[in-house]
Amino acid sequence: MSLYPVTNARRQSKAKSKARLKVLIVEDERLIAENLKFIVEDHNYEVVALASTAEEAIRKAKQSKPDLILMDVRIQGELDGVQAASRIQQSLAKKPRVLFLSAHAKEQFPHIDSLDSDSFLYLVKPYTPEDLLAAMESILNS
């Protein structure tokens, strides 16, 4: 995934057209997390936190109550991204949508079926910024 150019003009023009939704990014590779943050913020979403482990993601989700979580499936810690998402959704009254991001096929994570199918999407790496944004819009509008 290449770094996506951030332009203030584009960000300011979009700020007038869409309410800012809160996004939590869970990714254990810092460079990828920062790149996701740039893409998301450039399209007028508010990144409320970055997390690199499941435990940190659960804690930050409880604090920030995001509308959407961009969740890498394979992350540091004892829990994977699917388990973290499940615990987050169980702990919050308003369940955030989850967009799983992974280089691995969805079938490698059969426990993903324990989640409400309307609450998540799965995007396979590599993807373009346009793919990411389209998937975000799709899960938020479902």
- Confidence at residue 18, expressed as pLDDT on a 0 to 100 scale: 54
pLDDT at 13 over 60: no
79-98 mean pLDDT: 94
- Confidence at residue 7, expressed as pLDDT on a 0 to 100 scale: 47
Instruction: Tell me the two tokens of residue 74.
Output: 């394979």
Nearest to 29 by CA among 97, 90, 75: 75
pLDDT at 24 over 60: yes
Top-confidence residue, 94 or 10? 94
Q: Please compute, for residue 74, the number of CA atoms within 13 A of its CA located in the half-sphere on the CB side.
A: 9
Per-residue b or e along 85-123, where b marks 16 or more CB atoms closer than 10 Å to that residue's CB: bbbbbeeeeeebbbbbbbeeebeebeebeebeeeebbbb
Q: Are strands 68-72 and 120-124 parallel, antiparallel or unpaired?
A: unpaired
| 96 close to 77: Cβ distance less than 8 angstroms | no
Domains of the chain, CATH where assigned: 21-140 (3.40.50.2300)
- Confidence at residue 46, expressed as pLDDT on a 0 to 100 scale: 98
- Range with the poorest average pLDDT among 14-18, 22-26, 49-53: 14-18
Supply the pTM of this predicted model.
0.85
pLDDT at 129 over 90: yes
83-90 mean pLDDT: 94
Instruction: Tell me the two tokens of residue 29.
Output: 């590779």
Looking at the chain, the whole-number percentage of residues with pLDDT higher than 90 is: 70
82-93 mean pLDDT: 94
- Confidence at residue 113, expressed as pLDDT on a 0 to 100 scale: 73
Cα–Cα–Cα angle for 111, 47, 15, rounded to 5 degrees: 125
pLDDT at 10 over 80: no
Cα–Cα–Cα angle for 51, 31, 105, rounded to 5 degrees: 75
Average pLDDT value for the chain: 87
